[in-house]
Amino acid sequence: MKEREFRSIIEKYEKLIFTICFQFVKDYQEAQNLTQETFISAYTHIDSCNIETIKPWLSRIATNKAKDYLKSAYNRRVVLGNDDSEEVSAVSILPLPETLVLAKEGVENIKEYILNMKEPYYKVSVMYFLEEKSIDEISTILKRPKKTVQTQIFRAKNILKEYIDKEG
């Protein structure tokens, strides 16, 4: 895809993507940042998207970016009261380096577990969790009914949940 074509996609969907991000984070500047991150991510993975499904694909990326932001340690804040006045300040809790390493190891372990799943969950899990394809896309690619794909994703999520609970 040429840069000009991608610019037209940005112009067409930037308001939608911003709205999705803002609905999640309720912060104008953070929604702008997440919108930018969404388009950067989309640009780097544009080869994996069918142009007919660009709108839901971008929407899914935006939703995932916003959810990731809300889960991030950067977003978590502790409200501290000041003894001398009624003023309240918010202090960001920055993760310790070892916490970041453990989180990254956890993600790698889950990715490894997905890659070691057996059929019928392997292909569906890789496409859904790692390649971020929609259920409709997976259904079309694998030539499986949409309901079958939904059931397989549901079961794969349960398998992953059990694995995460077991691993702690």
Question: What domains does the chain contain, in order, with CATH numbers?
Answer: 1-94 (1.10.1740.10), 95-168 (1.10.10.10)
Between CA 60 and CA 66 the distance in angstroms is 10
Residue range 75-102: average pLDDT?
45
* pLDDT band per the 50, 70, 90 thresholds, residue 47: confident
Query: Average pLDDT over the chain, rounded to whole?
Result: 78
Quote the percentage of the chain above a pLDDT of 90: 27
Q: In this predicted model, which residue has the larger pLDDT, 72 or 43?
A: 43
Residue range 100-124: average pLDDT?
75
Q: What per-residue confidence (pLDDT) applies to 83?
A: 46
Task: Please work out, in degrees rounded to the nearest 5, the angle formed at the alpha carbon of residue 67 by the alpha carbons of 115 and 69.
Answer: 105
Between CA 68 and CA 65 the distance in angstroms is 5
Task: Please give the model's pTM, rounded to 2 decimal places.
Answer: 0.46
For residue 93, is pLDDT > 50? no
Q: In this predicted model, which residue has the larger pLDDT, 140 or 72?
A: 140
Host H or E run for residue 77: strand 77-81
Between CA 143 and CA 44 the distance in angstroms is 27
For residue 97, is pLDDT > 50? yes
